[in-house]
Amino acid sequence: MTATTERIRPFTAQDYEAYVSMLNAAHPEDPQTVEDVKLFDAGREPHETFARFLLDRGGQVVGSAVIGTPRYNPQPGASMLNLHLHPQAQSAAGQLYDFAVREAQALGARILVAGAREDWWELPFLQARGFVELDRMWGSTLDVREFDPAPFAAFQLKSAQQGIQVRPLAELPYQEEAFQRRWYALIIELLGDVPSASEFHPWPFETWQKRVAQSPKLVSEAYFMALDGEQLVGTSELFPSNRPGTLQTGLTGVRRAWRRKGIAQTLKLVAAEYARSQGFQFVRTSNHSVNRPMLSINEAMGFMKEPAWVNLERRL
């Protein structure tokens, strides 16, 4: 009997279909698409390090390792380390991990950042190799068909009495750079205020513009802004999801000077009503476990928690 050839090789442009198929076999509860991966790749900046390797077993893609500049918080000296393996190939995890660490070090990494859901095999695997927990993110889902907004009407009244309007980007000049710079300033301020165990490292405006304001994933009717006159004071973002009948929440937040005016709750209510009116059943969100103010809003509305996402770090 001929032994099956197994090797780790670089990813090529011909591998997208096989790669995504493997990702979805590894974690069907977190579905991916070729479009998503290509969009992620297209958003990479020239100065960012990046490499994707595939575990090839007899011509079949059964695993992957992705390293390079972390996309969402690009701290200096850090490299992401994302491992995925088909359920029938998890015995190769150690081999793939060791290879990925060597490649990350060759790119100059001093810190490895990774993550896994608390019920995934990757979490104890990474912890056994020196990764330590930084913080946790609670994913949670609201069934908007069952949600009753009536008990929260006072929040909308309170924000309206303060002169706050909530409008979708579609009603604002969001394609103009002058507006985009005001929008960017809002987002960076809000992200800097999100409780987190990691220091926040913002994208430059031009990177944010490409990845967010000009993204084909942007749905201007589903991205809501709170305005006090012409001032942008808060936001709640909805994006397409690969989960059936679901919209994904991005950032929800309000500038400090406008907090405790019912604005964050109003934004969440507007987003939930939009999802329901468009025929969606669920709105999903994710929050740092230490972000008690936003978690309290979600819990009061009836968002149901999923297993937590655990952010990890290993210093080399």
Tell me the pLDDT tens digit for each residue of 113-165: 999 999 999 999 999 999 999 999 999 999 999 999 999 999 999 999 999 99
What residues make up the domain containing 78? 6-130
Q: Which of 100, 130, 160 is the last residue of a domain?
A: 130
Q: Which of 109, 130, 151 is the last residue of a domain?
A: 130
Residues 123 and 157 in one domain: no
pLDDT at 234: 98
Residues 121 and 144 in one domain: no
First to last CA, the chain: 42
Residues 217 and 77 in one domain: no
pLDDT at 302: 97
pLDDT at 255 exceeding the cut of 90: yes
Q: What is the mean pLDDT of the chain?
A: 95
Residues 166 and 244 in one domain: yes
Number of structural domains found in the chain: 2
Residues 76 and 145 in one domain: no
pLDDT at 208 exceeding the cut of 90: yes
Q: What confidence tens digit (pLDDT) does each residue in 18-44 have? A: 999 999 999 999 999 999 999 999 999
Q: What confidence tens digit (pLDDT) does each residue in 40-81 have? A: 999 999 999 999 999 999 999 999 999 999 998 898 999 999
Residues 97 and 184 in one domain: no
pLDDT at 187 exceeding the cut of 60: yes
CA dist 111 and 200 (Å) reads 16
Q: Can you give the CATH number for the domain in which 218 is found?
A: 3.40.630.30
Residues 49 and 12 in one domain: yes
Residue 1 is assigned to a structural domain of this protein:
no
- For residue 234, the cross-strand partners are 226, 254
CA dist 109 and 90 (Å) reads 25
pTM over 0.85: yes
Residues 282/301, Cβ–Cβ less than 8 Å:
no
pLDDT at 3: 57
CA dist 232 and 192 (Å) reads 16
pLDDT at 1: 39
Residue 41 is assigned to a structural domain of this protein:
yes
pLDDT at 139: 94
Residues 231 and 82 in one domain: no
Confidence bin at 2 (pLDDT 50/70/90): very low
Instruction: Show the beta-strand stretches assigned E in 159-302.
Output: 164-168, 223-228, 231-240, 246-254, 282-288
Residues 85 and 125 in one domain: yes
Residues 33 and 88 in one domain: yes
Q: Which of 101, 130, 159 is the last residue of a domain?
A: 130
Of residues 36, 34, 21, 41, the one with CA closest to residue 89 = 21
Residues 116 and 211 in one domain: no
Q: What percent of the chain has pLDDT over 70?
A: 99
CA dist 40 and 33 (Å) reads 11
SS3 197: coil
pLDDT at 199: 82
Average pLDDT over residues 169-197: 95
Q: What percent of the chain has pLDDT over 90?
A: 93
Residues 43/209, Cβ–Cβ less than 8 Å:
no
pLDDT at 202: 93
